[in-house]
């Protein structure tokens, strides 16, 4: 599952078979949790784990020299006349994360299997768009906001339950003078892009399946969508235009769906033989601007994934490295410079399988519950987790699952004993918390 795709139509389809059931494990939570110095009560849907909570104070996107910080400042310097924010609190209400942005009540992103909740009315933001209304309400017309975001997900080299996004937005007056400004800006950007060495596959700004909003003049919407694309193509040229490769960079625009933009798009970059999704964007829906008390304006917003882009630019092969405190990682980078990461060594991996019968009468354990449990035991020593088998016993109707956990440290060789201990803890927790029966 692509991290940016979680709120798009594609993800919607993939999730539709999921139920809202979570094998929630209330017994493991104290009555209160302390986060950034404040205390919060827990309830029956609390599902944040200690390993997730430990990431909240780290703020790697603000550490001098860290690749994510350098990338953030390069993007900020590309938008010099925008306001730049990077210190918003990650704890938000579900209202702010979803309702203000017109997410339907039954959107899968709201479920406890996909998002981290402190309690019913407080969660870790799943995207930087959660702050759109707050920033527009301040009267900001052009702004960038960088933040850590949290999503329950599978474990592999390009997924991590905490990652960083950068939200950007630009509003114009929805009148002749505003549109003249958009046209001038579009002219300037088009001229600049003519000289680029990137190949951009484009699609119409507006199509029947990706409609103009009812309250918008189609000509205005077209101009603003064009402005959005030109502005982002120019950013992509800034970021990828000078990568020393024989092949020109290939970028493609595709249609997308987000509840809070229309028309909506995604951008993918061709990297190591695969199309990688790096951002979602679109023309901001009217209701967001109405809630923000913004009148007579029209504009766009985008949200991009910083890790994905940094992995391409720095050739960083594993997303866990962004959290490394190893000097062999950190000392390679200079503030403000993009350099190619030199792997210090690839240490051996060791996999272990665990098969179990799910508790009688319950739905199979959710992948994300299993992954969070493993992450909590093994931290960044787990490289990936895959379900390798599942079936339902024809007579007893009990379901069985088998997962393969691949352990590998990025810094050292793991001993057999150490891995066995980790695996033992995984098995113990699994039986304690989810009442499964090991096979």
What is the contact surface with ligand PHE in residues (CB under 6 A)?
A: 4, 6-7, 127, 129, 167, 258, 261, 280-282, 301-303
Whole-number minimum distance, CB 299 to ligand PHE, in Å? Answer: 11
d(CA 74, CA 337): 9
Minimum distance from residue 284 beta carbon to ligand PHE (Å)? 7
User: Computed over its alpha carbons, how large is the radius of gyration of the chain?
Assistant: 23
Which two structure tokens, joined as six digits, stand for 183?
Answer: 């046209």
Is 240 or 258 the residue whose CB approaches ligand PHE more closely? 258
C-beta of 4 vs 144, nearer to ligand PHE = 4
Least separation in angstroms between residue 4's CB and ligand PHE is 5
Please report how close the Cβ of residue 6 comes to ligand PHE at its closest, in angstroms. Answer: 6
**Hey, which residues does 210 pair with through a beta bridge?**
207
Contact 122, 111 (CB under 8 A): no
At residue 304, φ and ψ (nearest 5 deg) are -120, 150
d(CA 73, CA 67): 10
- Shortest distance, position 336 Cβ to ligand PHE, whole Å: 26
Contacts of residue 371, defined as CB under 8 A and 6 or more positions apart, other chains included, come to 152, 153, 154, 155, 161, 385
Question: Measured between alpha carbons, how far is 158 from 321 in angstroms, rounded to an integer?
Answer: 11
The 3-state secondary structure of 318-350, one letter per residue: CHHHHHCCCHHHHCCCCCCCCCCCCCCCCCCCE
- Report which residue's Cβ sits closest to ligand PHE: 303
SS (H, E, C) 265-278: EEEEEEECCEEEEE
Which of 153, 166, 160 has the alpha carbon at shortest distance from 321? 160
């Amino acid at each position: 599952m692509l991290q940016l795709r979680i709120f798009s139509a594609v993800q919607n389809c993939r999730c539709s078979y999921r139920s809202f059931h979570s094998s929630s494990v209330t017994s493991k939570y104290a009555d209160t949790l302390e986060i950034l110095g404040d205390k919060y009560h827990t309830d029956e849907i609390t599902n944040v784990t200690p390993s997730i909570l430990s990431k909240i104070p780290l703020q790697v996107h603000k550490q001098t020299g860290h690749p994510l910080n350098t990338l953030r400042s390069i993007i900020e310097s590309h938008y010099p006349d925008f306001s730049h924010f990077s210190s918003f609190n990650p704890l938000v209400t579900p209202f702010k994360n979803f309702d203000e942005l017109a997410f339907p009540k039954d959107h899968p992103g709201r479920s406890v299997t996909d998002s981290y909740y402190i309690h019913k009315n407080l969660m870790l933001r799943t995207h930087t768009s959660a702050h759109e209304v707050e920033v527009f309400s301040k009267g900001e017309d052009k702004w960038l906001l960088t933040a850590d975001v949290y999503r329950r997900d599978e474990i592999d080299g390009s997924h991590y339950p905490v990652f960083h996004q950068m939200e950007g937005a630009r509003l114009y007056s929805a009148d002749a003078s505003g549109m003249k400004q958009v046209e001038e800006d579009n002219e300037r950007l088009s001229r600049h892009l003519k000289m680029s060495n990137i190949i951009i596959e484009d699609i119409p700004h507006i199509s029947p399946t990706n409609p103009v909003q009812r309250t918008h003049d189609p000509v205005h919407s077209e101009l603003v969508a064009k402005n959005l694309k030109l502005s982002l193509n120019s950013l992509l040229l800034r970021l990828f235009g000078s990568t020393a490769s024989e092949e020109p960079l290939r970028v493609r625009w595709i249609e997308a769906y987000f509840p809070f933009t229309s028309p909506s798009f995604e951008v993918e970059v061709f990297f190591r033989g695969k199309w990688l999704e790096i951002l979602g964007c679109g023309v901001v829906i009217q209701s967001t601007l109405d809630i923000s008390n913004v009148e007579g304006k029209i504009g766009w917003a985008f949200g991009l994934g910083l890790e994905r882009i940094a992995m391409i630019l720095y050739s960083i092969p594993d997303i866990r490295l962004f959290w490394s405190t190893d000097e062999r990682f950190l000392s390679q980078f200079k503030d403000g410079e993009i350099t190619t990461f030199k792997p210090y060594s690839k240490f051996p991996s060791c996999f272990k399988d665990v098969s179990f019968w799910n508790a009688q009468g319950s739905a199979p354990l959710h992948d994300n519950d299993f992954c969070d449990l493993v992450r909590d035991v093994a931290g960044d020593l787990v490289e990936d987790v895959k379900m390798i088998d599942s079936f339902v016993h024809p007579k007893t109707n009990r379901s069985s699952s088998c997962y393969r956990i691949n352990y590998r440290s990025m810094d050292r060789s793991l001993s057999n004993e150490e891995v066995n201990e980790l695996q033992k803890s995984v098995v113990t927790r699994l039986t304690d918390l989810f009442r499964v029966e090991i096979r």
